[in-house]
Amino acid sequence: MNDDMFDPKEFIRKSIQETRMRVREEKAIAACSGGVDSVTATLLARMAVGDNLSAVFIDDGLRREGEPEFVAELLKRIGGRYRCVDARNSFYEGLRNKKDAEEKRKAFREIFYRKLGQIAREDGAIYLVQGTIAADIAETVSGVKTQHNVLEQIGIDPKEYGFELVEPLRDLYKPEVRAVARELALPEEVSGRMPFPGPGLSVRVLGEVTPQKIEVLRKATRIVEEETKSLRSFQSFAALMSDRATAIKNGERVYGEMITVRVVESEDAITASVVEVPYRILFKISQRITGEIPTVARCLFDITHKPPGTIEFE
């Protein structure tokens, strides 16, 4: 969409009308991760079908620190029925022994939709509402990378999982979604929230995903977000490399993990530029990560724009 011509108020009116006509008196569930896309889609659907919608947060064990609690509180504030589902074991089992980035994304997608299909059956729901946006579809269809929340556009019938899809934001890019979120009076902590990948930290662990690696990355993620909150950026995050490096800790040689820090600015996630982070901030991040996480030996900084790199590492 042309952002200069975009009217969020008119979009909301049409979206509610279309969803109401589609769902009618049937039940629906909404997959809500806590990001601006899924929260906005959930609220639009709630306004369209009311109590026939139940919001669902799936705890896959791959979120930031405190994310399940954050989303539960957010859904409570939005109102209506919601549930949080602990599916950590299913995701870790499904990702076991998978090292290739596309294999991991597809495995995540399969577990995610199988779990949502199970929840839909339990609730007697026919429709799944999700926050897929235009950038997700463009990257998946073009073959850049598989976005976990794209099905029909690549020939996968969602009925295989037991539901039909409702995607109210599928034609919008991130700036337009944020405009809709603000028009809906969602708090800035949601409307301006930094994007987070659907498969969570699994695509920021290079190579095989394990609970131990995720815990290391979760701590590093918190440090990076805390130390870069004063910067203007689209995304600021940490990634755990698959290789190891030598370091000296407490006077002894260790062969430890490596964390790479990435900070980029973007409007629509289609292109991105590396942010020139002040050295004092980089140095503080490195000190904290190597000091607070015993297994980490090195801290690196990625200076690759998109293109040629993608925003995420996998």
Instruction: Show the low-confidence residues of the chain (pLDDT under 50).
Output: 2
Instruction: Judge if 136 and 37 occupy the same domain.
Output: yes
Same domain, 256 and 183: no
Give the CA count within 13 Å in the CB-facing half-sphere of 17.
6
**Cβ within 8 Å of residue 283, ≥6 positions away:** none
In this predicted model, what pLDDT tens digit does every residue of 264-313 receive, in sequence order? 999 888 899 999 999 999 999 999 999 999 999 999 999 999 999 999 99
Residue 167: predicted pLDDT: 96
pLDDT for 4 equals 62
The answer as to whether 51 is a domain residue is yes
Question: Is there a single domain that holds both residue 116 and residue 230?
Answer: no
Q: Which residues pair with 306 in a beta bridge?
A: 272
Q: CA-to-CA distance for 47 and 177, rounded, in angstroms?
A: 16
234 and 101 in a common domain: no
Question: 163 with 232, same domain?
Answer: no
Evaluate whether residue 224 is within a structural domain: yes
Residue-number span of the structural domain to which 54 is assigned:
3-191
CATH number of domain containing 258: 3.30.300.10
Determine, yes or no, domain membership for 230: yes
128 and 219 in a single domain? The answer is no
In terms of domains, do 135 and 235 share one?
A: no
The per-residue pLDDT for 3 is 52
Please report which residue ranges of the chain form alpha helices under DSSP H: 8-23, 36-49, 67-78, 88-95, 101-123, 134-142, 174-183, 188-191, 211-227, 279-292
| 123 and 247 share one domain | no
Q: Which of 163, 191, 219 is the last residue of a domain?
A: 191
Amino acid, res. 281: I
Q: Do residues 37 and 90 share a domain?
A: yes
Max Cα-Cα span within the chain? 68
250 is a domain residue: yes
- pLDDT value for 2: 47
Q: Say how far apart CA 218 and CA 200 lie, in whole Å.
A: 10
CATH of the domain at 59: 3.40.50.620
User: HSE on the CB side for 75, CA within 13 Å?
Assistant: 26
Single residue among 191, 218, 233 that ends a domain in this structure: 191
- The reply to whether 56 and 101 lie within a common domain is yes
Residue 146 within any structural domain of the chain: yes
Q: What's the structural domain count of the chain?
A: 2
Residues 185 and 235 in one domain: no
Give the pTM: 0.90
